[in-house]
Amino acid sequence: MKRIPKLALTVGLIAAVYGLFVAVFTYILHLPVPASVMKMYMFFVTVVVLLVMTSNEDSARELVAPLEALVYQPRLRRLRAAVFIVAPLAGFGLTYNVTRPTLDAPLELRTVHPAPPNSVKVFGKTYNLLTLENPYRAKEKSDLEAFRQAVEEGKTVYFQNCHYCHGDKLDGKGHFSGGFNNPLPANFTDVGTIAQLQESFLFWRIATGGPGLPNEGAPWASPMPVWSNYLTEDEIWKVILFLYDYTGYAPRVMKEEKGHS
């Protein structure tokens, strides 16, 4: 079998990886890779392929030989002229496409994890979020019946107020979720949401809603209501219990993680 020239192999490999991404993500999964990520992926795919192709002298020489020939060989004069005209034009076209004004909305570099303040003022009181704990959490061990009762009440609060957006399976796919663009209602079953957070964080988020999000990372464009205007403190703690109970996650407890303390 005839050996594939190194330059062709290099270009072929890079193209094949790109094709694989498009085939798998766009056509099989129907979840296309966003251009910002694809550019990073393909840049490093190209780098790694080039590193492998130049990892020994023979291979490196074979790779650059056609390029050297293109620059130096008199017999390739016409091809050289064509490349030297087409390549800058291609660069020009690429630059034009990247920089030309479009009617698309500007890109948003949004932070999905708002950092909580140290304290929050709601219900006429100031809560220290570093030390705030769910008053019902201790009942999970001391009085299971009362704990289950609180979870049930939290469930009622959830289905009366939250499920329209966050969904009856807590997966962020409620009736109204299709009306939102960015951010979408949080999916509580995702390991990346409440499973990573302390209950005090949820208390802050629910109590102050979209308007309570910090300036950092703005604009948030979150339509989440300020629930402290509609729910009692007790109801918020109970609905938090329900979120963890339904999803099976345990709230993050920093003291336990410290280990040595």
Partner 1 sequence: MKPRNTLFTLARRVLAVSLVALIFAVNGGVAFAAEEAAVAPAGETAIAPVGQPAPVLTEESYPLLGGGSSRVKVWIVAQLHLFFAAFVLGVPIFVLVIEGIGMATGDKRYDAMAKEFIKISMVAFSFTATLGGILLFLLAMLYPDFTVYSLKIFRPILIAYALLFFGESLCLYIYYYGWEAMSSGFGKWVHLTVGLLLNAAGMTLMVLSNSWATFMMAPSGVTPDGAFLGDVWAVMHGPLWNPINLHRFIANIAYGGSIVGAYAAYKFLTAKAPEEKAHYDWMGYTANFIAVVGLLPLPFAGYWLTKELYAYSQQMGITLMGGIFAWLFIIQALLIGAIFLGANYYLWLGLVRVPGGEAYRKAIGWMATVLLVCFLVWFTPHTIIMTSSEIKALGGAHHPVLGALGVMSAKNTAVNIMILTTFLAFLLYQRAGKIPKVGWARGGNAALAALFAAGAANIVTLGIYGYYIPANIRIGLSVPQVFTTLFVIAAASLINGVMYRGASETGPTRWGDMPARSQYALFLLAVSFTWLMGLMGYVRSGIRQHWHVYTVFRDYSPDAFTPTLGYAANVVSVTVLIFMAMVIFIFWLDNFSRKKAAHK
Residues that bind partner 1 (CB under 8 A): 25, 29, 31-37, 40-41, 44-45, 47-48, 51-52, 54-57, 60, 104-105, 107-118, 129-130, 181-184, 187, 191-192, 195-198, 200-201, 216-217, 249-250, 252-258, 260
What's the min distance (Å) between Cβ of 121 and partner 1?
16
Residues in the chain: 261
Q: Output 222 or 228, the one with its CB closest to partner 1.
A: 222
- The alpha carbon torsion through 63, 67, 68, 70 (nearest 10 deg) reads 150
- With 0-12 / 13-18 / 19 or more C-beta atoms within 10 angstroms meaning exposed / middle / buried, residue 136 is buried
Burial 176-210 (b: 16+ CB within 10 A, else e): ebeebeebebbbbbeeebbbebbbbbbbbbbbbbe
Using the minimum distance from each CB to partner 1, give the nearer residue, 199 or 235. Answer: 199
Whether 122 and 228 have beta carbons less than 8 Å apart is answered as: yes
Q: How far is the CB of 113 from partner 1 (least distance, A)?
A: 3
CA contacts within 13 A on the Cβ side of 22: 9
Q: How far is the CB of 142 from partner 1 (least distance, A)?
A: 21
Considering beta carbons, is residue 24 or 87 the nearer one to partner 1? 24
Is the Cβ of residue 32 or residue 135 nearer to partner 1 in the bound state? 32
Query: Quick one: 32 or 88, whose CB is closer to partner 1?
Result: 32
Supply the minimum distance, in Å, between the C-beta of residue 43 and partner 1.
9
